A and B are shown apart, each in its own frame.
Chain A
Amino acid sequence: MRCRAIRRLPLQRVVVPIPTSRAACAASSISQRPNSDFVSFPGALKSAFTSTLKFEHPGSYTALPTYRVVDQHGTVVDSSFTPDISDEAVIKLYKDMLFISIMDLIMFDAQRQGRLSFYMVSAGEEAVSVGSSSVLDFEDSVYCQYREQGLFKERGMTTKEFMSQLFANKNDPGKGRNMPVHYGSKRLNIVSISTSAYAAAAALSSLKLIEAHAPQHTVSSPLATQIPQASGAGYALKMQKLQNPNSKARVAVCFFGEGAASEGDFHAAMNIAATRSCPVIFICRNNGYAISTPTLDQYRGDGIASRGIGYGIDTIRVDGNDIWAVREAVKRGREMALQDGGKPILIECMTYRVSHHSTSDDSFAYRARIEVEDWKRRDNPITRLRKWMEAKGVWDEAKEKEARESLRKEILKGFSEAEKEKKPALRTMFEDIYEEITPELKAQMTELRDMLDKYPDEYDFSEYEGGKESLRE
């Protein structure tokens, strides 16, 4: 606790104001009934007295259960379950997962050949991203960590857009500034916004927030920083709905791994989302590893889900290899997040990171190859949905072969096209630091251009759009 007394010292007089607002009074209006079994300590309102000295032992609680709809053989185990989407829509989701897994293989190899600088696959976790995405509203604001490629695919990111980002060419919305896999998109979100509804709302009010968008936020490398930002985004969506009741109710969604949940930002985000009642869905991908660190070195509690309860957050653990379980949980979670004026939801998806952490990692240095092979064979989100589809008679070996071949072709075509594109103009390295280029940056742009003029043999700028001319003011 920081020294509150010192905080007040600079003031000449210390005047403690009498709270006048309802919120300010609430904390001091706790009354205790005579002979109550409960304590009226402000910090824990419904705690009953006990005369037994007993510490709560985590081991005396059973682990939170894992919700599943379809087992690893593709058999439905939740008898109340009926698919809420058409067979065509299921096949679309399946192909989205397949697309990501095929792109992963191609790009991983491409990195190994030195054709792009870096890559991260999401093998084994396709159901979490594709499944979640498929039940979110297109206008929900989404924050990803970096292993949620499936969400971008499900939301409509094209092969060209994936490849432009990976090759950091002139079509990359990140303007060649971010490492590969740090996807972001504006188009994915604004495309479906009903412009007439927004225009009507804008006519009724002068609010600037009418211009608000629901971005698919660009991935950033620092882990967990997106979690409190998602809480803030959730609060913004709640305020925008309050201030414009005709607008659509939306939620913020935030993905992160179980390793990132050890960061302070996770704690900050859960707590602030709960205290401010923010409509935000936190989706944890618990895949067993943070690079080389197994969960045993990451935490000693019952995973991430058990923490949600401590923050006062409605929580569920689901089988992340079961796309139906993910969909049901996120769908219900979204409804709940919008109830009672908004509240946070925590969903822990249990999976296994089948792949290496990234192209800079050889995971066999810290885990047995057999363990990985076992997971690939025993349980995999793609094969599980395939089994379900085959049992239903909507998929077969011929369709599988055809789908794989056409996706592979499509990706390779996008790959070679993106690789040939020019890189973004050199000028873009100085833009977007501030809203406008500052005099300092203009001077530095000129300085760089002078260098390129004077030492033409020292720099190769031929692959950049417009060459050095873009540096001209």
Chain B
Amino acid sequence: MMRRGVGQLSKAALSRPLPRRERCYSTHPPNARLNKPIDYGTTQLLAHSSKGPALGNHHEIPLEVRNGATRKMNLFQAVNDALGIALAEDDSVLIFGEDVAFGGVFRCTMKLAETHGAERVFNTPLTEQGIMGFGIGLAAQGMRPVAEIQFADYVFPAFDQIVNEGAKLRYREGATGVHAGSLTVRMPCGGVGHGGLYHSQSPESLFTHIPGFRIVMPRSPIQAKGLLLSAIRSNDPCIFMEPKILYRAAVEQVPEAAYELPLSKAEVVKPGKDITIISYGQPMYTCLSAIQRAEEDLGVSCELIDLRTVYPWDKETVFASVRKTGRVLVVHEAMVNAGVGAEIAAAIQEDPETFVRLEAPVARVAGWSIHSALMFERFNIPDIARIYENIRKSLDY
């Protein structure tokens, strides 16, 4: 019954041309002053030319690398570049996961199997717990595995291996010296406009409750390359979360040479004196747009911090900034309840020297405490207007 109904419907639909319409998931309100689409082509967060650095992005990269050749890369190409470097410099690096051999469903592993061999870049059966267990076994045996979970939404079958095994291995093994520190797990995360319940999630705060792993999320191709190389070379196991909406959207001039960016170190991307805005990953762009609007409208100066590593996170940089500005706003895509913002807010009020400098309550702009429903994404993920309003509220307090 059902099948026939669908068949008739599609036949009927095909018989006349579909009306031309804008895609409903990518439109923006025509009269919006705040909620305009992010213009990745002009945002100051990306280095659009090899001359003149983007916001942040240059202090930690060695001079010879910065002055060397650069190439225009989007985020997936920067990830690919980092993986290629890692494979070339260390024979113990292996890359595996579902569909990585042909280049990956997001193209992050393009050409790596051809260049480095099918023994080092290979597909696994479709089993996340298997991928994670396999990776931990490789790491314990002295290899340097880089596992891919196709979407962060599908990491949950591997949770036991992450929480009980990968995170605890060094602790449990004690004096035997065995650990899974050479393991890196990459996973695309975050909203993409139409990913619905299982192609949108940002489960980073669940990982931040697990001592043992470092949880990293880059905001741009330059950051992705440096942080991913650090994660792979690190002797602590790392979960590297890639905001998939940036895979093609974020394009910048990335140094071709290898370089590392420090883990567990936040970056003050834009200095300011009236309020501190802390974020990571894609919302960094939303924050910057909101900041620019607020600075114009309200005549204030906002400091923007990219946490980069959400656990163990860089308290000192955050505290120093909040002590200076007295106001703070934490922005993330993942739902607000027990999110990264909760930990940061608690730590800020817990630190006596920082607490006494607070001029307003710590505010959080994050996803609502709901699941990432397909048709409601634009009302759920923090947007420019909500960040702008919270900056205003904090300053008015």
Interface positions of B from 120 to 166, Cβ below 8 Å from A: 120, 122, 124-125, 127, 129-145, 150-151, 154, 157, 160-161, 164-165
Known A-B contacts A7-B150, A272-B130; the reply to A207 vs B91 at CB < 8 A is yes
CB distance from A398 to the nearest CB of B (A): 40
Distance A225 CA – B168 CA, assembled complex (angstroms):
12
Within 8 Å by CB of A233, from B124, B141, B247, lies: B141
CB distance from A34 to the nearest CB of B (A): 31
Chain B residue contacts of A20, Cβ below 8 A = 114
Distance A440 CA – B235 CA, assembled complex (angstroms):
18
B315 touches A439 (CB 8 A): yes
Within 8 Å by CB of A11, from B118, B171, B181, B248, lies: B248
B44, CB-defined interface residue at 8 Å: no
Chain B residue contacts of A12, Cβ below 8 A = 248
Distance A198 CA – B136 CA, assembled complex (angstroms):
24
Chain A residue contacts of B101, Cβ below 8 A = 21, 23-24
Distance A137 CA – B19 CA, assembled complex (angstroms):
71
Distance A376 CA – B305 CA, assembled complex (angstroms):
68
CB distance from B144 to the nearest CB of A (A): 7
Known A-B contacts A208-B144, A268-B129; the reply to A229 vs B178 at CB < 8 A is no
A174 touches B315 (CB 8 A): no
Chain A residue with Cβ nearest B167: A433
Chain B residue with Cβ nearest A438: B312
Interface positions of A from 29 to 73, Cβ below 8 Å from B: none
CB distance from B4 to the nearest CB of A (A): 23
A2 touches B154 (CB 8 A): yes
**B interface footprint on A222-238 (CB within 8 Å = 1, 0 otherwise):** 10010111111111110
Within 8 Å by CB of A239, from B94, B132, B161, lies: B94
Distance A274 CA – B193 CA, assembled complex (angstroms):
39
A271 touches B133 (CB 8 A): no
Distance A177 CA – B168 CA, assembled complex (angstroms):
11
A217 touches B102 (CB 8 A): no
B247 touches A6 (CB 8 A): no
Chain A residue contacts of B124, Cβ below 8 A = 272, 275-276
Interface positions of A from 183 to 222, Cβ below 8 Å from B: 184-186, 205, 207-209, 211-218, 220, 222
Known A-B contacts A217-B140, A239-B119, A243-B91; the reply to A228 vs B161 at CB < 8 A is yes
CB distance from B316 to the nearest CB of A (A): 7
Chain A residue contacts of B142, Cβ below 8 A = 208-209, 211-213, 236, 240
A10 touches B192 (CB 8 A): yes
B137 touches A231 (CB 8 A): yes
CB distance from A18 to the nearest CB of B (A): 10
A184 touches B176 (CB 8 A): yes
B164 touches A235 (CB 8 A): no
Q: Which of B194-202, B274-282, B293-301 contacts A (4 or more CB under 8 A)?
A: B194-202
CB distance from B57 to the nearest CB of A (A): 24
Within 8 Å by CB of B176, from A141, A215, A433, lies: A215
Known A-B contacts A232-B135, A268-B130; the reply to A215 vs B140 at CB < 8 A is yes
A271 touches B130 (CB 8 A): yes
Within 8 Å by CB of B151, from A7, A230, A237, lies: A7
A19, CB-defined interface residue at 8 Å: yes
Chain B residue with Cβ nearest A186: B176
Distance A186 CA – B176 CA, assembled complex (angstroms):
5
Within 8 Å by CB of A276, from B90, B113, B122, lies: B122
Distance A4 CA – B98 CA, assembled complex (angstroms):
12
Distance A6 CA – B196 CA, assembled complex (angstroms):
10
B127 touches A271 (CB 8 A): yes
Chain B residue contacts of A275, Cβ below 8 A = 124-125
Interface positions of A from 245 to 278, Cβ below 8 Å from B: 252, 264-265, 267-269, 271-272, 275-276
Within 8 Å by CB of A435, from B106, B150, B193, B235, lies: B235
A174 touches B136 (CB 8 A): no
A229 touches B174 (CB 8 A): no
Point out which of B103, B114, B176 has the most chain A C-beta atoms below 10 A from its C-beta. B176
A217 touches B105 (CB 8 A): no
CB distance from B286 to the nearest CB of A (A): 18
Distance A240 CA – B120 CA, assembled complex (angstroms):
12
Chain A residue with Cβ nearest B199: A6
Chain A residue contacts of B264, Cβ below 8 A = 438
A24 touches B144 (CB 8 A): no
Within 8 Å by CB of A21, from B118, B133, B145, B244, lies: B118
Point out which of A23, A205, A228 has the most chain B C-beta atoms below 10 A from its C-beta. A228
A175, CB-defined interface residue at 8 Å: yes
CB distance from B239 to the nearest CB of A (A): 14
**A interface footprint on B219-230 (CB within 8 Å = 1, 0 otherwise):** 000000000000
A359, CB-defined interface residue at 8 Å: no
Within 8 Å by CB of B138, from A2, A178, A233, lies: A233
CB distance from B352 to the nearest CB of A (A): 13
Chain B residue contacts of A433, Cβ below 8 A = 170-171, 211-212
**B interface footprint on A166-182 (CB within 8 Å = 1, 0 otherwise):** 00000011110110001
B114 touches A272 (CB 8 A): no
**A interface footprint on B235-253 (CB within 8 Å = 1, 0 otherwise):** 1100000001101100000
**B interface footprint on A107-143 (CB within 8 Å = 1, 0 otherwise):** 0000000000000000000000000000000000100
CB distance from B281 to the nearest CB of A (A): 15
Chain A residue with Cβ nearest B212: A433
CB distance from B29 to the nearest CB of A (A): 23
A229 touches B212 (CB 8 A): no
Chain B residue with Cβ nearest A141: B141
B173, CB-defined interface residue at 8 Å: yes
A432, CB-defined interface residue at 8 Å: yes
Interface positions of B from 342 to 359, Cβ below 8 Å from A: none
B212 touches A434 (CB 8 A): yes
A232 touches B133 (CB 8 A): yes
Chain B residue contacts of A438, Cβ below 8 A = 264, 312
Known A-B contacts A10-B245, A268-B129, A435-B236; the reply to A228 vs B134 at CB < 8 A is yes
Known A-B contacts A209-B143, A217-B140; the reply to A229 vs B312 at CB < 8 A is no
Chain A residue with Cβ nearest B165: A225
B174 touches A232 (CB 8 A): no
Within 8 Å by CB of B174, from A173, A233, A243, lies: A173
CB distance from A118 to the nearest CB of B (A): 16
Distance A76 CA – B135 CA, assembled complex (angstroms):
44
Interface positions of B from 173 to 215, Cβ below 8 Å from A: 173-179, 181, 192-196, 198-199, 211-212, 214
Known A-B contacts A227-B133, A435-B235; the reply to A173 vs B176 at CB < 8 A is yes
A265 touches B102 (CB 8 A): no
Distance A267 CA – B179 CA, assembled complex (angstroms):
24
B175 touches A232 (CB 8 A): no
Distance A16 CA – B139 CA, assembled complex (angstroms):
33
**Top-10 shortest CB links A-B:** A232-B137, A228-B133, A268-B130, A212-B142, A236-B141, A229-B137, A232-B134, A175-B174, A186-B176, A173-B175
List 20 extra interface pairs beyond A211-B142, A236-B143, A239-B92, CB under 8 A. Answer: A2-B154, A7-B199, A9-B192, A10-B192, A17-B102, A141-B141, A172-B174, A174-B174, A215-B178, A218-B174, A222-B160, A222-B164, A228-B136, A232-B133, A236-B137, A236-B141, A268-B133, A276-B122, A439-B316, A440-B312
Please name 8 pairs of A and B residues whose Cβ atoms are closer than 8 Å in the assembled complex, sorted by A. A175-B174, A214-B141, A225-B160, A232-B133, A232-B139, A232-B141, A271-B130, A272-B131
